Amino acid sequence: MKLLLVMLGGALGSALRYGLGAWVQAWAGPGFPWSTFLVNTSGSFLIGAVLRLSLEGGLSAEARLFLAVGLLGGYTTFSTFSWETLTLLQGGEWLRAWGYVLGSVVLGFAAVLAGYWLGGRLGG
């Protein structure tokens, strides 16, 4: 049952991200990735609200799985990254939190560059 909740939420979240992203990008134009920016920001806001409600006892474990892991996980994993950073900060782990943020951004960018390079080598 848990896996089904996550799968259903993930499918809905992915569809929501695609639909909202396409609409925002068509409206805003190609000059800036507004759709990704909006999805990441709104997903971070929503996971904060959902997980706080869950911590306060306002959501069942099943609702938390469906909403936080499934729906918002399919919508954007950036929301999980934001939540994990918050929990590190709340635990007084300032250095680890900033290491996580900077490491994720820098290594993520380095990884996409390496993958892009490799894709060019394999395809051409």
Q: Is residue 58 part of a domain?
A: yes
On the 0-12 / 13-18 / 19+ scale of CB atoms within 10 A, 65 is: buried
Q: Is residue 123 part of a domain?
A: no
Q: Is 57 annotated as a binding residue?
A: no
Q: What does the pLDDT look like over 47-60, one tens digit per residue?
A: 999 999 998 999 99
Q: Is 73 annotated as a binding residue?
A: yes
How far apart are alpha carbons 72 and 105 in whole angstroms?
20
Q: Is residue 53 part of a domain?
A: yes
pLDDT reported for residue 78: 87
Place of tokens 């920016």: 37
The total domain count for the chain is 1
Q: Is residue 98 part of a domain?
A: no
Q: Is residue 115 part of a domain?
A: no
How far apart are alpha carbons 108 and 62 in whole angstroms?
32
Q: Is residue 29 part of a domain?
A: yes
Q: Please check the confidence at residue 79 and state whether its pLDDT lies above 90.
A: no
Share of the chain above pLDDT 70, in %: 99
* Beta carbons within 8 Å of 18's beta carbon, 6+ residues apart: none
Quick check: pTM over 0.85? Answer: no
Q: Is residue 63 part of a domain?
A: yes
